Structure 1
Amino acid sequence: MGRFLAGVAACLLLVTGGLLLWQSRAEAPALPSAPLARFAAFATPGVRLAPIPNAPEADAKSKEEKRFARADKNKDGRITLAELVEPRRKAYDRLDLDHDGKLSFEEWAVKTIDKFKEADADKSQVLNAAEFTATAPKPKAKKPECGCG
Structure 2
Amino acid sequence: MPSATARTREQKRFDRYDKDRNGRVTREEYLASRKKAFAKLDANGDGRLTFDEWAVKTTTKFAKADADRSAALDAAEFATTAVQRKAAARCACPPPESGAED
Q: Do Structure 1 and Structure 2 share a fold, with TM-score over 0.5? A: yes
Q: 2:62 aligns with which of 111, 116, 120?
A: 116
Matched, 1:70 2:16: yes
Cα deviation, 1:52-74, whole Å, max 9, x if unaligned, reads xxx65552322211211111111
Gaps of at least 5 residues in structure 2 are 87-102
Counterpart of 2:78 in structure 1 is 128
Cα distance 1:82–1:121, how it changes in 2: closer, same or farther (>3 A)? farther
What are the within-5 Å matches in structure 2 for residues 65-104 of structure 1? 65-104=11-50
Cα distance 1:94–1:115, how it changes in 2: closer, same or farther (>3 A)? farther
Q: How many residues align?
A: 81
Taking structure 2 as the reference length, the TM-score comes to 0.56
Cα deviation, 1:90-111, whole Å, max 9, x if unaligned, reads 43223223322232334324x1
Name the structure with the higher helix share.
1
Counterpart of 2:98 in structure 1 is none
CA separation in 2, counterparts of 1:101 and 1:77? 31
Taking structure 1 as the reference length, the TM-score comes to 0.42
Cα deviation, 1:22-69, whole Å, max 9, x if unaligned, reads xxxxxxxxxxxxxxxxxxxxxxxxxxxxxxxxx655523222112111
CA separation in 2, counterparts of 1:66 and 1:72? 10
Gaps of at least 5 residues in structure 1 are 1-54, 140-149
Higher relative contact order, chain-length normalized (CA < 8 Å, sep 6+)? 2
Cα distance 1:101–1:115, how it changes in 2: closer, same or farther (>3 A)? same
Bigger Rg, structure 1 or 2: 1
CA separation in 2, counterparts of 1:83 and 1:119? 38
CA separation in 1, counterparts of 2:40 and 2:3? 43
Q: CA RMSD in A?
A: 3.0
SS of corresponding position for 2:11 = helix
